[in-house]
């Protein structure tokens, strides 16, 4: 594949390269494992949960009223979020910013806003629950670290859709990766 052709116009690198996405997939997988471990405690599959700094803080956070606000354990929701991150990070070729904007947008939405939600959960630990949870902090850190590296690809896809719109072609078809539109738009 000609690397030059896959670089978005006005950029000096291709944000969809595996070298850009692989670290995100790895970090997302780590986040998934942490969230599943916490979910196992909430689902009573394990009796205790490890916390090197805050004693039983993690258990108090995981059994708090706040953690029971959803029909399923909140850690399981977090694990699902990470799973979406990982799957959306894997799907597509190294020019997916243009060939599959839909998956890049899903990836961006999964990583960006969900990362910020995890920060709100961190804030709620001392403010609402009154305890800290080490692994929850690690999970939130992972979510935040993933935001910026995912956003470059997201921006490249949005710019591609913007060029499609400026050419008065169907943004909807381009979003789903129309080959005909791709051939007409750089």
Partner 1 sequence: MLIGIVNIVLGLWLMVSPFIFGMNRLTSNINHIVGPLVITFSIISLWEINRNAIKVNLLLGVWLLIALFLFEYTKTIAFFSNGGAACLVIILSSIKRKGGGKFGGGWRSLFQHNPAHLREAEKTP
159's CB contacts (< 8 A; 6+ apart) are 8, 10
Question: Smaller CB distance to partner 1: residue 40 or 134?
Answer: 134
Select the span of 24-32, 37-45, 72-80, 155-163 touching partner 1 (CB under 8 A). Answer: 155-163
Residue 10: both structure tokens together: 């006005």
Pinpoint the alpha helices (H) of 125-166: 134-166
Residue 186 binds partner 1 (CB under 8 A): yes
Residues 101-140 that bind partner 1 (CB under 8 A): 116, 119, 122-123, 126-127, 140
Residue 11 binds partner 1 (CB under 8 A): yes
Contact 170, 22 (CB under 8 A): no
Residue 51 binds partner 1 (CB under 8 A): no
C-alpha 135/C-alpha 122 separation (Å) is: 11
Q: For helices 74-90 and 18-42, what crossing angle results, to 10°?
A: 160
Residue 159 binds partner 1 (CB under 8 A): yes
Binding interface with partner 1 (CB under 8 A): 8-13, 116, 119, 122-123, 126-127, 140-141, 144-145, 147-149, 151-152, 155-156, 158-159, 162-163, 166, 185-186
């Amino acid at each position: 594949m000609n690397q030059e052709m896959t670089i978005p116009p006005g950029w000096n690198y291709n944000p969809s390269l595996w070298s850009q996405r692989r670290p995100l997939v790895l970090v997302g997988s780590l986040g998934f494992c942490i969230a599943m471990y916490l979910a196992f405690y909430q689902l009573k599959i394990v009796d205790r949960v490890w916390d090197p700094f805050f004693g039983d803080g993690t258990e108090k956070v995981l059994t708090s009223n706040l953690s029971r606000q959803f029909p399923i354990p909140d850690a399981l929701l977090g694990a699902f979020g990470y799973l979406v991150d990982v799957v959306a990070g894997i799907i597509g070729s190294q020019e997916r910013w243009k060939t599959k904007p839909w998956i890049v947008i899903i990836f961006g939405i999964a990583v960006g806003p969900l990362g910020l939600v995890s920060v709100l959960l961190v804030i709620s630990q001392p403010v609402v629950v009154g305890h800290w949870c080490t692994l929850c902090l690690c999970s939130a850190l992972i979510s935040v670290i993933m935001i910026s590296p995912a956003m470059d690809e997201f921006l490249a896809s949005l710019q591609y859709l913007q060029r499609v719109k400026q050419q008065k072609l169907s943004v909807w078809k381009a979003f789903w990766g129309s080959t005909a539109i791709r051939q007409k738009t750089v």
